[in-house]
Amino acid sequence: MIEPTTTCPCGSGTEYISCCKPLHEGILPDNALQLMRSRYSAYVLNLPSYIVKTTHPASPQYSVNKFAWKRKITQFSQNSTFQKLEILEFKEKESLATVIFTVFLTQNEEDATFTEKSYFEKINDRWLYRGGQLKNGHAPNMVTTAEFKLLPLAYYEDSILRRKADPVNEITTDIKNLVEEMIETMDASDGIGLAAPQIHHSIRLFVIRVPIETENGGFDAGDVKVFINPILSNFSAEMWKASEGCLSIPTIRSSVERPREITVNYTTLDGTQIKEQFSGWAARVIMHENDHIDGILFIDRLEMEEKLRVKPILQHLKARIHDGRAL
């Protein structure tokens, strides 16, 4: 047990009782940096419930199986000797923030130090841990001087996701800047497609990273392609099924049946009109994103059995994101 007069493990130099303790007991942190520090001290003090409570449902660490998840956190805490936390960078813009930090620790007497660029999102006044990119060791080179370009995502049950989006009339500087921010947001979330309504702009525009198909039937993220006012046609009669996910509906993945090939007429960012054929994963991603600008979500396209399976997960997600309800 930690004594009330002990210095806080987060390294703030102040006492635990007036630092991370109130946060661990339910007071909301003022900013993402405070959350970051209190999550670190929760790992040190082995408080798995706090980690679970402050993890965004879209985080890759998020698990519906709370019991197994908490056990994993406890194992990590118990097998680690935490030396210190070093904050390298903190950036915040409205409901989004990034923190780059190094955690100095040992596991089984071996150095297990890592640097992480974490990404935080504020939902209903609560900052949540969204995910992060990891590097082994102390990696101050992860610090960036680039501008903060992440955009807040619209999540399941946000009405903008159900609107039929308006055409883009002119490719203005604002549109070009928006596309740049969309690409950064897509990449930060590890997505391979993002449509404008997903970042609260009801316009007919989406970006993808053209999937490069791999031998095992999967894909890697390829180059970026921007689609403005796309029109899909020539849907092949041949259909195929594959598992899809969506940045607006975190934690849910399900198999969707779609045509194998399509033709797309679209405008590029420099205003060129293009007619292009796509097949396989590229066609699938384009159809998924094109659905977004028509107000359709991939969960609408599931078979009845799958719809029933994901229903409780959707309800859980809704409660978590829109009502800000704790677990």
Looking at the Cβ atoms of 97 and 247, the one nearer to Zn ion is 247
Strands 96-107 and 126-136: unpaired
Contact 98, 127 (CB under 8 A): no
Question: Buried b / exposed e across 219-246, counting CB within 10 Å, b at 16+?
Answer: bebeebbbbbbbebeeeeeeeeeeebbb
SS3 content of the chain, % helix, strand, coil (to 5): 30, 35, 35
Smaller CB separation from Zn ion, 13 or 271: 13
Residue 19 interacting with Zn ion (CB under 5 A): yes
Pick the piece of the chain touching Zn ion (CB under 5 A) from 8-16, 42-50, 56-64, 72-80. 8-16
What is the torsional sign of CA 65, 71, 74, 75?
Answer: negative
Stretch that binds Zn ion, among 10-18, 180-188, 250-258, 266-274 (CB under 5 A): 10-18
Nearer to Zn ion, 20 or 45 (CB): 20
- Based on CB atoms, which residue is closest to Zn ion, 73 or 85? 85
Q: Considering only 12-20, 42-50, 163-171, 235-243, which stretch makes contact with Zn ion by CB under 5 A?
A: 12-20
Q: Is 305 marked active-site?
A: no
**Can residue 20 be called a binding residue for Zn ion (CB under 5 A)?**
yes
Q: Which of 289, 303, 305, 306 is catalytic?
A: 289
Binding mask of the shown chain, residues 33 to 62, with x at each position contacting Zn ion by CB under 5 A? --------x---------------------
Q: How many residues bind Zn ion (CB under 5 A)?
A: 7
Tokens 């930060």 identify what position? 188
Q: Which amino acid type is present at position 252?
A: I
Which among 54, 55, 46 is positioned nearest to 73, based on CA atoms?
A: 46
Q: Is 12 in the site for Zn ion (CB under 5 A)?
A: yes
Q: Is 8 in the site for Zn ion (CB under 5 A)?
A: yes
Residue 205 DSSP label: E
Nearer to Zn ion, 19 or 73 (CB): 19
Question: What letter does residue 310 receive in the DSSP assignment?
Answer: H
Active site residues per annotation: 289
- Contacts with Zn ion by CB under 5 A lie at 8, 10, 12, 19-20, 41, 246
